[in-house]
Amino acid sequence: MGSFSIWHWLIVLVIVLLVFGTKKLRNAGGDLGSAVKNFKDSMKEGEASVNKPEAVAAQSQNANSETKKENV
């Protein structure tokens, strides 16, 4: 009663294709894929910075010294 058969899902798919068209769905899929890829890349960068706290401390010190030079 609560589950749909394969025929229900095929009909829904056909209706979605008719409403949105294949080009819009392809673009939406590409956008979603690039968003997931960017998210994974940023997670890897975050893990790398957590694993190397000395590098992060050095970067923050360099940024602070550059800011002080600009203010002078």
CA gap 41, 47 in Å, rounded: 10
Q: Within its chain, how far is the Cα of 58 from the centroid?
A: 28
pTM, rounded to two decimals: 0.46
pLDDT, tens only, 21-68: 888 888 998 999 999 999 999 988 887 777 765 655 555 665 656 555
Burial 12-51 (b: 16+ CB within 10 A, else e): eeeeeeeeeeeeeeeeeeeeeeeeeeeeeeeeeeeeeeee
